């Protein structure tokens, strides 16, 4: 995890512009470099480093003697860089996984480069010999990337929007900063003036398609025995374990978030098992946050005892959570209700990890709910086919919601997040299964995933079959959820009259509740006029919901009242 920043064709003094690069210093607390591009005095790169691999040669932009005309700034981890080296005979000059991007590009161009990378990434690649700039981002947008491109060809690129919004440019004061789309790459021509012109934006991978890099994966082709349930369960276990194994690549200590729900518990259990197998000589630290005796804390405690991790509990008090709201919204760059609620706990547990432990590479369970139909409203899906379509829609929008939350709350404290449920091969296989296999069954969501691990003894049965809890709800007590605690506080902060006139003040995505109004006010304070970053609020489908919390849904109430 790190922070990348680059400008092409700046009309303003670069020493002034580079102050904007310091807005993302939290993403890379270990080192910083600012470098001009030879021959293009108005083009430069900025890089904040969190040293996770190759502590000696890991600074960026990466340049190697073999390709003196290539400049690379990237954020992410490429898990198959050694397999690609073996397959194509690449001669690496560093131990940095991202160096493979230079070799792939030299061998087959940008299309092959983006398609063959197994990992999470956002990168800026400059080819001064051919006067091209390339931008690319992984399939699910696990690593963030924003850009601004003016009509006269000034380009700014950054890991977070906050590094671009205050850039100065002669022709426009308020240029449109926007997220770079996941699963895409963009080709831009670099003019002698340092300015750029976009040539094409290409989608190189869709979540349903088996990725091209399967050809050099550590797990060989799976036997095609149709959809026999035992074979399906075996494949799910094999691919998930492989997803966790490849993410063990790190020179810094590994830890794991553990809410006690199915997803983080499976990640923690498989992670610890594999760490033992490869003789990692320190205990796995697991981290849970919640109010005293909250459902998540109790469940996480049970999982930690079962798997034998070194478990840490962070007790959330109401005042601390409320005080964190503004800094959380600033970190997130969104005003989405459920994202903010869920981020507060994750932000505070990340703060604890950074201050109190030496774990830096943090595993988490993001992506499972979208992939395996874990949200409670999936029980109301009209048909398996519509549930499958909804699952794909949620995966495509992860970069706006859960993946955004997971990245910003951890990156704010200089931690690197790893999310095995969003492994390209695992997700494409799961999405290839018949729609009726993937829907909730017997009143239980994620039924197929649970069934696949039933005989593994990785988790206690009551955890494996524990019903879904939203993170923002599970950290609170059963009697009073976190969202209702927030609403009680905010009710005193927002006047009724303000809410009545909300649509006039905020015509795009107008707030409908005092809570959403409160969040929007804070967002607009830091990012005025940038409301289009959130195209719509996250809300459940097929139900008459006015609030995104699972606790307001009828299915949840009936389950907890039984």
Q: How far is CA 452 from the centre of its chain?
A: 25
pLDDT tens, 146-200? Answer: 999 999 999 999 999 999 999 988 765 557 999 999 999 999 999 999 999 999 9
pLDDT tops 60 at residue 275: yes
Residue 200 tokens, joined: 């094409």
Burial environment of residue 382 by CB neighbours within 10 A (0 to 12, 13 to 18, 19 or more)? exposed
Paired tokens of 378:
């999936």
DSSP strands (E only) in 50-154? 62-64, 67-78, 119-127, 132-137, 146-149
Q: Could you read off the pLDDT of 99-156 as tens digits, one per residue? A: 999 999 999 999 999 999 999 999 999 999 999 999 999 999 999 999 999 999 999 9
Query: What are the catalytic residues?
Result: 2
Q: pLDDT per residue over 423-446, tens digit each?
A: 999 999 999 999 999 999 999 999
* pLDDT over 90 at 487, yes or no: no
Q: Give CA 498 to chain center in angstroms.
A: 34
* Domain architecture of the chain: domains with CATH: 3-203 (3.60.20.10), 228-491 (3.40.50.620)
400 is in an annotated binding site: no
* 155 carries a ligand binding annotation: no
Q: Is 97 marked as binding a ligand? A: yes
Higher-confidence residue: 294 or 532?
A: 532
Angle separating helix axes 99-116 and 81-88, nearest 10 degrees: 90
Q: Tokens representing 357?
A: 């432990």
HSE of 223, CA atoms in CB hemisphere, 13 A: 7
The answer to whether 359 is annotated as binding is no
- Calpha distance 187→201 (Å, rounded): 7
């Amino acid at each position: 995890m790190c922070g990348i920043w680059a400008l092409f064709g700046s009309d303003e003094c670069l020493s002034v512009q580079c102050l904007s690069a310091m807005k993302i210093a939290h993403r890379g607390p270990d080192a910083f470099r600012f470098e001009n591009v030879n021959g293009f005095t108005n083009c430069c790169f900025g890089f904040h480093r969190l040293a996770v691999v190759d502590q000696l040669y890991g600074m960026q932009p990466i340049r190697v003697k073999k390709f003196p005309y290539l400049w690379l700034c990237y954020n992410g981890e490429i898990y198959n860089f050694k397999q690609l080296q073996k397959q194509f005979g690449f001669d690496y000059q560093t131990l940095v996984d991202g160096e493979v991007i230079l070799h792939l590009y030299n061998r087959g161009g940008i299309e092959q480069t983006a398609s063959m990378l197994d990992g999470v990434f956002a990168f800026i690649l400059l080819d001064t010999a051919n006067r091209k700039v390339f931008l690319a981002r992984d399939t699910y947008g696990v690593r963030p990337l924003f850009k601004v491109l003016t009509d006269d060809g000034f380009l700014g690129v950054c890991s977070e929007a906050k590094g671009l919004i205050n850039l100065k440019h002669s022709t426009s004061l308020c240029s449109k900063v926007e997220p770079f789309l996941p699963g895409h790459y963009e080709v831009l021509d670099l003019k002698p003036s340092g300015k750029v012109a976009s040539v094409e934006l290409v989608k190189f991978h869709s979540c349903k398609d088996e990725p091209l890099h399967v050809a050099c994966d550590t797990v060989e082709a799976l036997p095609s025995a149709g959809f026999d349930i035992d074979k399906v369960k075996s494949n799910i276990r094999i691919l998930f374990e492989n997803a966790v194994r490849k993410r063990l690549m790190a020179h810094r200590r590994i830890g794991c978030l553990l809410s006690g729900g199915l997803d983080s518990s499976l990640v923690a259990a498989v992670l610890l098992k594999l760490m033992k197998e490869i003789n990692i000589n320190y205990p796995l630290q697991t981290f849970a946050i919640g109010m005293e005796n909250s459902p998540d804390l109790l469940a996480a405690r049970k999982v930690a005892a079962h798997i034998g991790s070194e478990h840490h509990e962070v007790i959330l008090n109401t005042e601390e959570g409320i005080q964190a709201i503004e800094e959380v919204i600033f970190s997130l760059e969104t005003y989405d209700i459920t994202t903010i609620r869920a981020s507060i706990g994750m932000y505070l547990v990340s703060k604890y990890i950074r201050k109190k432990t030496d774990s830096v590479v943090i595993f988490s369970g993001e992506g499972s709910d979208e992939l395996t139909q874990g949200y409670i409203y999936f029980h109301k899906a009209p048909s398996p086919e519509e549930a499958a379509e909804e699952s794909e829609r949620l995966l495509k929008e992860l970069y706006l919601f859960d993946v955004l939350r997971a990245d910003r709350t951890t990156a704010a404290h200089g931690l690197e997040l790893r999310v095995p449920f969003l492994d390209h091969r695992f997700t494409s296989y799961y999405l290839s299964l018949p729609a009726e296999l993937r829907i909730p069954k017997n009143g239980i969501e994620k039924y197929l995933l649970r069934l696949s691990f039933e005989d593994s003894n990785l988790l206690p049965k009551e955890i494996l079959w524990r019903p879904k809890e939203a993170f923002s709800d599970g950290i609170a007590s059963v009697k009073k959820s976190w969202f209702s605690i927030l609403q009680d506080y905010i009710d005193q902060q927002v006047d009724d009259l303000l809410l009545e006139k909300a649509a006039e003040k905020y015509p795009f995505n107008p707030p409908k509740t005092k809570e959403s109004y409160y969040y929007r006010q804070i967002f607009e304070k830091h990012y005025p006029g940038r409301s289009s970053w959130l195209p719509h609020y996250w809300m459940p489908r097929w139900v008459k919901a006015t609030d995104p919390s699972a606790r307001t849904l009828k299915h949840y109430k009936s389950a907890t009242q039984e």
